[in-house]
Structure 1
Amino acid sequence: MRAVRIEEFGGPEVLVPAEVPDPVAGPGQVLVRVEAAGVNRADALVRAGVYHRAGRPPLIPGAEAAGTVAALGEGVTGFEVGQRVMALDGIDSPGFYAELAAVPATRVTVLPDGVDPIEAATLPVAWLSAWYCLRRLARVAKGDTVVVKAAASGVGTAAVQIAAEAGARVIALAGSAEKAAWAGQFGAAEVVDTSRHADEAEVEEVLRLTGGRGAEVVLDTVGGRAFGRSLRETAHGGRVVSLANVALEPSTVDTRDFYPKNLAILGFQLTNLQIHGWDPRPDLRELAERVAAGAYRVPVETVLPLSEARAAHERLESRENRGKIVLTVGG
C-alpha cells in the first residue's frame, strides 16, 4: 500500500512517500481503508521526535482518519465490511498517513449519514478534545463565560462552537486581527487580538470584558507562560482546563494566582485518557451526530493528497492556517 513514513526524526522534509506491506486485521482489530486523514500538531511533534510517545523510526504518522471497513479481525462485532467509519489512533497502532490501517475496534466509530469523510477525519482529535474538555471536564453551562485560547486553531474553532451551543458567552483569543475576526464567525461574543494585547495586557483585557470578575472557564490550548495568565483570567470558583503545551516552554505559576480563588485546574491528554480506560466511542458518536444535525460547522482550510504530506506540515507549522488541514488518501 501507499503510505507516508518517517525514516528519521526532523523537519517536514523527512515525510517520505513509501510502498509498505498491507496491514492485516488481528484479533480485536478493524482494518480501515483510509479516505482522509486529519493533520494535527501532535503529528508534527511525532515527526520531530519530541512527542512523549513517538516511538522510533520508521513510523507512519497520523492520529485520526475517516474511511470504510475493509476487514474485521477475530472477535470483532458491530461492524460490517464497507461501513463508513471514523478512527482514532493514539496508543499502539500505525498511523493513518496510509491507504490502510489496522486499528483496535475500541477506537473505531460508525460515521452517521450527513458527515463527509473530509469533515469526519477532523473529529477524533481536535474536536473530540474540545468536546471532552468543555462538556465532561469543565461542564460548561448556560450563562458561563468561557475563554478559548488559540481560537483560530482546530481545537479552538471547535471549542468556540461547543461552548456557544451550550449557552456560554465565549471570549475568543487569537494571535492576529485576521485570526480573531475569523474565530468570531463561530459564535464568540467577544474576540481579542493577542498580538495587540500581549502578556499582561491579555489578562487586563479579559478582566475588562468580564467586569473584573474573570471567566468561569478558561481553555488553555497554548501552555507555557500562557498557563499563568489563564489562572489570572479565571473567576472565583472557576475552572482552567489545560490540554497542550504548543509553546514548548515551562509553565511558571504563582500559587497565589489560583488557591485564593478556589480554582479547579483540570488536565487533559487524549492518549493517556485512553490508556487509563476511557472509551472514546460514545463521545465521538454524539459529537458526529451533532455535526450531522448541523449544530456545528467543521472548517477545513486545506485539503492535499497524501503525497503532499510535507506541504501539509509546512502549512501547519507556519501557524497561518485557520481551521483544519486534511490529507486525502483514497483514489
Structure 2
Amino acid sequence: MYASRVLEFGPPSALRWSAAPDPVAGPGAVVVEVVAAGVNRADALFRAGRYHRGPQLPATPGLEAAGRIVAVGAGVTDLQVGRRVVAWGAIGDPGFYAERAEVPAERVLPVPDEVELIGAAAVPVAWLTAWYSLHRLGGVRPGDVVLVHAGASGVGSAAVQIAKDAGARVIATAGGEEKVKWVHDLGADVVLDHTAADVPAEVLAHSDGRGANVVLDLVGGETFAGSLRAAARAANVVALANVALAPSVIDTRDFYPKNVHIHGFQFTDLMEHGYDPRPDLAEVLAGLAQRRFAVPVDSTFPLADAASAHARLESRAVLGKVLLTGPTG
C-alpha cells in the first residue's frame, strides 16, 4: 500500500507519497480502509519537527480517520468486515495518512448510518476535544457564558456548536471580517475580531461585567493571559494547545482571587493513562446523526497530496476542518 509519510522534518513538501508495509489484522485488531483522515495541528507540528512528542522517522502522521473494516483479527467479535467505523490513535500509531491501517478494536467505533464518513473522520480529535473540554472539564451548563478562542478552527467550530447545544451563550474570537461572519453564522452569539478588539474587555462588556464561566483557549502564548482576565469567578479555563508556539506570561492575580480553575487537555496523554473515548465519541456521533451538529469541512485533498493539505492548514485561511480522502472517499 501507499501512505503520505514524513521521511525528514521540514515544510509541507516533507510529506512524501511512498510505499509502506501492508497492514495485517493481528489479534484484537482490525484493518480499516481509510475513506477520510483528519488533518490536525499536531500533524503539522510533528512534520515540522516542532511537536513535543512523536515517533522516530520515517513515520506516518494522522490521528483520526473514518472508513470500512476490511479485515478482522482473532478475538474480535463485535466488529465485522464491511462495517463503517471511525478510528483513532497517535502519530505513527498507526498513522492514518495511509490507504489502510491496523487499529486495535478498542480504538474503533461504528458510525451511524445517518453520518457521512467524511464528517465522521473529524470527530475523534476536534469534536472529542471540544466535547471533553466543555462537558468534562468545563462543566458547561445552560445559561453559562462560554468563550471560544479560534472559533473558525476545527476544534473552535465544534465547540461553538456543542456549547450552544448545551444551552450556553457563546462568545467566540476569529481573525478578520470573513471569519467573524462565518463563526457568527455557525451559531455564536457574539464574535470578536481578535486582531482589533480588546478581547477580555469585550467579554466583560458582553457578560454584564461577570466574565466567561468556561474559556477554551486554543491559541496559547499571549492569548492565555487574556483568557484568565476574561474568566468569571470560579470559571473553568481549559488550555488545549499552543499554536502560537510562544510562552505565556501571566499574572496570578488574574485568576487566584476569583478561584478560577485551570485545566490542560491533551488527547494522546489521556488515552495513555486509561481514558476510553468511546462513550464521548458516541455522544458526538449521535448529535451528528440527529442533525444537532454539523461538521464544517473547509477542504479535502487526496491522501497522496497531504503536502497541499498541510499548506492549507498553515495558511490561516481555514474555515472548519481540512481532510484527506482515500480512493473511495
TM-score using structure 2 length: 0.97
1:208 aligns with 2:225: no
Contact 1:59 1:94 in 2 (8 A): no
Check 1:92–1:306 CA distance in 2 against 1; reply closer, same or farther (3 A cut).
closer
Which consecutive residues of structure 1, in runs of 5 or more, have no partner in the other structure?
Answer: none
Runs of 4+ residues deviating >4 angstroms = none
Letter in 1 for 2:140: V
Quote the sequence identity (%): 57
1:244 aligns with 2:241: yes
Pairing of 1:268-307 with structure 2 (within 5 A): 268-307=265-304
Query: Counterpart of 1:8?
Result: 8
1:70 aligns with 2:67: no
CA distance in 2: counterparts of 1:24 and 1:252, whole angstroms: 48
Letter in 2 for 1:126: A
Query: Counterpart of 1:228?
Result: 225
Letter in 1 for 2:115: V
| RMSD, aligned CA | 1.1
Query: Counterpart of 1:132?
Result: 132
Deviates more, 1:50-59 or 1:168-177: 50-59
CA distance in 2: counterparts of 1:288 and 1:320, whole angstroms: 27
Query: Counterpart of 1:112?
Result: 112
Letter in 2 for 1:298: V
1:54-97, Cα deviation, whole Å (9 max, x unpaired): 21111111111000111122222210111000001127622011
Aligned residue-pair number: 328
Pairing of 1:144-163 with structure 2 (within 5 A): 144-163=144-163
Letter in 1 for 2:121: A
Letter in 1 for 2:142: K
SS at match of 1:93: coil
Contact 1:91 1:271 in 2 (8 A): no
1:219-261, Cα deviation, whole Å (9 max, x unpaired): 1011111111100000111110111111111111111111100
Contact 1:91 1:275 in 2 (8 A): no
Query: Counterpart of 1:96?
Result: 96
Query: Counterpart of 2:52?
Result: 52
Deviation of residue 52 (structure 1)? 2.0
Contact 1:36 1:330 in 2 (8 A): no
SS at match of 1:158: helix
1:26-45, Cα deviation, whole Å (9 max, x unpaired): 22222111111111111101
Query: Counterpart of 2:259?
Result: 262
TM-score using structure 1 length: 0.97
Which consecutive residues of structure 2, in runs of 5 or more, have no partner in the other structure?
Answer: none
Query: Counterpart of 1:308?
Result: 305
Letter in 2 for 1:304: F
SS at match of 2:314: helix
1:267-295, Cα deviation, whole Å (9 max, x unpaired): 11100000000001111111111101100
SS at match of 1:318: coil
SS at match of 2:286: helix
Deviates more, 1:88-97 or 1:257-266: 88-97
Deviation of residue 305 (structure 1)? 1.0
